[in-house]
Amino acid sequence: MSVFETPDQLYGCIGGLLNRMGADPVVLAELQSLKLKVKFTFHDPESSIFLTVEDGTHSIHYGETCQKPDIELAMSGDVAHYFWMGEINVMQAITKQQIVASGSLGKIMKLVPLIKASIKLYPQHYEQSISSIS
């Protein structure tokens, strides 16, 4: 059984985490130095999230968009969940093609501090999101 049965569950958990980033002081500090457009493409369930980070702020778009990303990360919903739980080594997942990354390696590396800060928020956010969806 998949972690996320529907796109709405994935959006509530993964998208909700991305929305919460600006409320956390550690993550907010990481946002200040970034200017990126990232597209997360998921399968199982089919869905996508477009994250724009610029001038210390961020915005989220759910579903397809005509915007061109600097980076695209494609993975299953389960891999996304375990990635944000901190249970997947990103470089190993990319090597095993559990995560397919497109775009500049330099820009992908700029995401690392933001990801590390956000991973600390996800377990509690996931529990709250799942209990409110169920």
pLDDT along the chain (134 residues), means of 10: 94 92 80 89 98 88 96 97 92 93 89 84 90 68
What are the structural domains of the chain? 7-133 (3.30.1050.10)
Is the CB of residue 31 less than 8 Å from the CB of residue 56?
A: yes
What six digits make up the tokens of 82? 């375990």
CA-based end-to-end distance of the chain:
16
Supply the DSSP string of 4-63, one letter for each residue: -SSHHHHIIIIIHHHHHGGGSHHHHHHHTT--EEEEEEEETTTEEEEEEEETTEEEEEES
Question: Quick one: pLDDT at residue 80?
Answer: 97
Model-wide pTM > 0.85: yes
Question: Quick one: pLDDT at residue 17?
Answer: 93
